[in-house]
Amino acid sequence: MRISTLNVRSLNYTGAVTLLDSELRRWNIQIAGLQEVRWPGSGEMKCGDSMFLWSGRQDGSRREAVALAVPNRWMSTCMAWTPVMERLLHGRFKHSIGYLNVTVAYAPTEAADQQDKEDFYAQLDSTLGMCGRNDLTVVLGDFNAVSGTSRLPGGDSVLGPWGSGQPNDNSDLFLSFCRSNCLSIAGSWFRRKDIHRLSWCSNDGQFSCEMIFEALHPMCSQ
């Protein structure tokens, strides 16, 4: 099973969803967590071979919003999904030996109000509380944070040997969330070139090293 997380910057234009569905099938991706889809409200939409479940703002504004894209045939295994808020969505799927929980997250930027950041992570913690103790849990997100490279002495099951970036306030919140929920930062466990690690360009054309996309999974020791 191939899983990805993508900040699409907007699906709010003609043909965007069709193009994304085509690319997901070309890459053979079964689960995709999407950020900044910019769809208001919440709902389900079928497009090609994919079903899109989304959670957006309730005031009608076309900002933020997250979505989960899965193959149409998988919807028979979807036990439930919850549009938590415009930055969070949770889905639960049944598989051959148990359940898979997928949470899609889009954290506030470093420049956001500190209370907004703390409220987001509090809601994210609460969302993970919906998962069963024996369920496989995956968090797909754009956390607007870098992991840094400072691992815990004596071994670290959360941050791998190939973390990156200069930590900031968002990094502290991100790492604290991962450690309190026993989640590993998947991207930090694989050695990659920086050109493959940094995938965002700001609107003024300057590349930034302050944004990474991460998939989080339970620590192997748990």
Mean pLDDT for the chain overall: 88
Show the tokens assigned to 114.
């500190």
Give tens-digit pLDDT for 197-218.
665 556 665 544 443 446 666 6
Kindly state the average pLDDT of the residues 113-141.
93
Contact 66, 55 (CB under 8 A): yes
Contact 106, 87 (CB under 8 A): yes
Give tens-digit pLDDT for 10-48.
999 999 999 999 999 999 999 999 999 999 999 999 999
pLDDT at 201: 58
Secondary structure string (H, E, C) spanning the chain: CCEEEEECCCCCCCCHHHHHHHHHHHCCCCEEEEECCCCCCEEEEEECCEEEEEECCCCCCCCCCEEEEEEHHHHHHEEEEEEEECCEEEEEEEECCEEEEEEEEECCCCCCCHHHHHHHHHHHHHHHCCCCCCCEEEEEEECCCCCCCCCCCCCCCCCCCCCCCCCCHHHHHHHHHHHHCCEEEHHHHCCCCHHHHCCCECCCCCECCCCCEEEEEECCCC
pLDDT at 161: 93
Give tens-digit pLDDT for 68-80.
999 999 999 999 9
Q: Which of 68, 67, 121 is nearest to 93 (CA)?
A: 68
Among 72-81, 105-114, 187-196, the range scoring the smallest mean pLDDT is 187-196
